[in-house]
Amino acid sequence: MASKKDFTQVAHDVFMRATGQAPAKKAPNAKQVAGRAGGLKGGKGRMAALTDEQRTALAQKGVAARKKAPASEAGAKITK
């Protein structure tokens, strides 16, 4: 993970962009492309595979989490 840039590094980046000398952005590698593609369709595929009861339980669990109530109080039990 990249750390935050200090003032000098930011100034250097601004200078390089302003003068047109900034390096080109790297193209994503195959793993990054595949991960992004899977991430974009993952939720839809997961929801399509669930039954109505499972979706209801998942929604109730989400409501309980947003309300900060324990999931057992909301009756959310997900079985697959």
pLDDT at 8: 96
- Cα gap 77→66, rounded to integer Å: 16
Q: Is 24 exposed, middle or buried (0-12, 13-18, 19+ CB in 10 A)?
A: exposed
Which amino acid belongs to residue 21? Answer: Q
pLDDT of residue 22: 83
Q: Are 78 and 56 in contact (CB under 8 A)?
A: no
pLDDT in tens, the chain (80 residues): 467 889 999 999 999 989 988 887 888 899 999 888 888 888 888 888 999 999 999 999 999 889 875 555 555 566 65
Domain spans in the chain, listed from the N-terminal domain onward = 27-80
What one-character DSSP code corresponds to residue 60? H
- Its pTM stands at 0.40
Query: Given this model, what pLDDT does residue 9 score?
Result: 93
61 within 8 A of 71, measured Cβ to Cβ: yes
pLDDT of amino acid 72: 59
Kindly give, in sequence order, each residue whose CB lies less than 8 Å from that of residue 5, ignoring residues fewer than 6 positions away: 13
